[in-house]
Structure 1
Amino acid sequence: MSTTAVTQVGDIGTKLKVKDCAADCASGSMNLSIIKRSSVCCNTDQCNVQDAPDPRTDSNGKKCYFCNGKNCSNTVSCSGGEDHCITAAASYGEQSLVVKGCVSKSICDSTTSVDDVQKISCCSGNLCNGVQSVSQSFLFLCCSLLSFILLH
């Protein structure tokens, strides 16, 4: 596998390239706002000679929520092949962590069991990894009920 990861916090940025062997590998990219990563997997000797592409590509129009500390109402623009939103939750003792962002479908398909992570879910709608508003659900229910009454 070959991986390129970019971290950007304010004006400080780093880029890390890793080449290694991996038992389970998924080609694709992930964008968690301050951390962006792309990976390319292959299965022949020394096939990882090429670097994984830079994950900082142009926006593809899709948006997902991401977490900044405990605040998960921020949005991030997805790029390249990132066609799904992800939510992952982990607990370490009394500490809990929620991670949200954009991912490629291939990464969603490969995250069925990750150590120390209790819950991983992916969805394909725009901003689908956020909490649904109660007022929107209530308004939809009222409109549906009113339509049913008026049409019957």
Structure 2
Amino acid sequence: MDLQISVFLLFVLFTAGNGTIITAKSCALPNGCPSGSINLGIGKIASTCCNTNLCNSLDAPDPAIVPNGKKCYYCDGQSCSNTLSCSGSEESCFAATGKFESQPIAVKGCVSTSICNFVSIIGAFVDGVSCCSGNLCNSAKSVTQSFLFLCCSLLSFILLH
């Protein structure tokens, strides 16, 4: 029997200034469970892993909200020139591009380095994913559309399958 790790996924969507929290719990293989978070400006996805029996029966821990000094660009509608203050373990910036229903999309924001280490897996679902470590290193290029669902789907797929 393969060892499995329990995982919490915590989705926080910011709409009209209010946060909506959605949690998911599951099991994953040890090498498929990065702990960390992705902050998209309009939403945040945090995953936490544990490795004891029924350890995910408790509530998921709240994601860190204290700014850590890192700044990255994020996309909102037609523009990817918005700046975002990263928090907690989000020490890298990221940019991902792809297509959804034949429309080009871009997603940018802050990310934990542990999540960036899964770029090769995520890269199978989108045209390009990159992580960088400097402030505002993920450039402010405008795009046709940005899409929170893409990142939620990709991270869920990686952690829950």
The answer for unaligned runs of 5 or more in structure 2 is 1-6, 142-161
Q: Distance in 2 between matches of 1:50 and 1:102?
A: 27
Structure 2 distance, partners of 1:105, 1:9, is: 27
Taking structure 2 as the reference length, what is the TM-score of the superposition?
Answer: 0.74
Tell me the residue number matched to 2:24: 18
Aligned-residue Cα RMSD (Å) equals 1.9
Q: For 2:48, which of 22, 32, 40 is the aligned residue? A: 40
Q: 2:121 aligns with which of 92, 107, 113?
A: 113
Q: Is residue 67 of structure 1 aligned with residue 75 of structure 2?
A: yes
Give the Å deviation of 1:84.
Answer: 0.2
Larger Rg: 1
Q: Displacement, 1:10?
A: 1.6
- State the TM-score, normalized to the length of structure 1: 0.78
- Of residues 22-31 and 101-110 in structure 1, the stretch that sits farther from structure 2 once superposed is 22-31
Aligned equivalent of 2:136: 127
Residue identity (%): 49
Question: Helix, strand or coil: the match of 2:65?
Answer: coil
- The offset of 1:56, in angstroms, is 4.8
User: 2:15 & 2:63 partners in 1: Cα distance?
Assistant: 16
For 2:8 and 2:125, the matched residues in 1 are separated by: 24
State how many pairs are aligned.
Answer: 132
Question: Which letter does structure 2 place at the counterpart of 1:32?
Answer: L
SS class of match (1:129): coil
